[in-house]
């Protein structure tokens, strides 16, 4: 089954404790992206990657890091989480040509206290 | 900066009562406008892509249209299963060098039986 998986699905952590949210896709897609979704603000793009070792900033990259060492994986790293990073996070993937038809993961709800 | 504004924020419909959702946008050069559907607790699911003014796309009870400044998602004779949040997104840069996607905040549609 074609899918995008994220782990963990739910995470409660404390300010400053480094964390990683994993994202993996099994569709051999070149393009992968991370979004955060907040009430009233909609989905905002954090980072995206056009292919292995190629990443670029989205609209809200501050406080986040990404890496793309393998085509199927695109982890999101919060080195020093803060309460304003409490949000619902989505990973998505697509072929490079059809970046609009993105397949989204189930989401990770992160709470930073 | 690209901007996407959706209205209304929420829409309550009776089953069979047709209506329209609006997505207005300001971008430097539109590459594509996309509609997604999001069910509670899930990631967005791709519906349509529109590239140029005058274009229309249909899927079951949904029809998307595009002008130079806005897009409409028409829901004809809706059923309770059409209840969801509908998201609009734009991709700027007609030259294809920027794959950033900007989303609106969404319209939450509730259809009562």
B51-77: pLDDT as tens digits: 899 999 999 999 999 998 999 999 999
The predicted pLDDT at position A39 comes to 86
pLDDT at B111 over 90: yes
Return the number of CB contacts < 8 Å for A and B.
61
User: Is residue A105 very low, low, confident or very high in pLDDT (cuts 50, 70, 90)?
Assistant: very high
pLDDT at A82 over 90: yes
pLDDT at B94 over 60: no
Chain A residue set in contact with B, beta carbons under 8 Å: 4, 31, 33, 35, 40-45, 48, 50, 56, 58-59, 90, 92, 96, 99-107
User: Is residue B3 very low, low, confident or very high in pLDDT (cuts 50, 70, 90)?
Assistant: confident
The predicted pLDDT at position B21 comes to 98
Work out the angle at residue A7's Cα, subtended by the Cα atoms of residues B38 and A27, and round it to the nearest 5 degrees: 70
Q: Which residue of A has its CA nearest to B34?
A: A100
Work out the angle at residue B82's Cα, subtended by the Cα atoms of residues B57 and B11, and round it to the nearest 5 degrees: 95
* Mutant choice from B101, B102, B103 vs A, greatest count of A C-beta within 10 A: B101
* Mutant choice from A100, A102, A105, A106 vs B, greatest count of B C-beta within 10 A: A100
Report CA A85 to chain centroid distance, whole Å: 13
Nearest to A60 by CA among A27, A38, A40: A38
The predicted pLDDT at position B31 comes to 84
pLDDT at A71 over 80: yes
Whole-number average pLDDT of chain A: 93
| Alpha helix (H) residue ranges in chain B | none
User: Is residue B1 very low, low, confident or very high in pLDDT (cuts 50, 70, 90)?
Assistant: low
User: Is residue A40 very low, low, confident or very high in pLDDT (cuts 50, 70, 90)?
Assistant: confident
pLDDT at B99 over 70: no
Distance CA A90, CA A109 (A): 9
Q: Say whether B105 and A42 touch across the interface (CB within 8 A).
A: yes
pLDDT at A96 over 80: no
The predicted pLDDT at position B101 comes to 79
């Amino acid at each position: 089954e074609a899918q995008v998986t994220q782990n963990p699905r739910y995470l409660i952590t404390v300010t400053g404790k480094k964390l990683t949210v994993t994202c993996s896709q099994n569709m051999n897609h070149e393009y992968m992206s991370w979004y955060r979704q907040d009430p009233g603000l909609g989905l905002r793009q954090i980072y995206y990657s056009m292919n292995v070792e190629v990443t670029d900033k989205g609209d809200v990259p501050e406080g986040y890091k990404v890496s793309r060492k393998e085509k199927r994986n695109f982890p999101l790293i919060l080195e020093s989480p803060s309460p304003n990073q409490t949000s619902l996070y989505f990973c998505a993937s697509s072929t490079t040509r059809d970046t609009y038809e993105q397949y989204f993961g189930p989401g990770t709800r992160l709470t930073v206290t | 900066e690209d901007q996407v504004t959706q209205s209304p924020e929420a829409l309550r419909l009776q089953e069979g009562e047709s209506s329209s959702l609006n997505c207005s946008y300001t971008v430097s050069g539109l590459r594509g406008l996309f509609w997604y559907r999001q069910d509670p607790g899930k990631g967005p699911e791709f519906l349509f892509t529109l590239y140029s003014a005058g274009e229309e796309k249909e899927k079951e009870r949904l029809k998307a249209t595009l002008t130079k400044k806005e897009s409409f998602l028409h829901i004809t004779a809706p059923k309770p299963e059409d209840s969801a949040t509908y998201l609009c997104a734009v991709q700027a840069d007609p030259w294809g060098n920027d794959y950033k996607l900007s989303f609106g905040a969404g319209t939450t549609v509730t259809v009562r039986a």
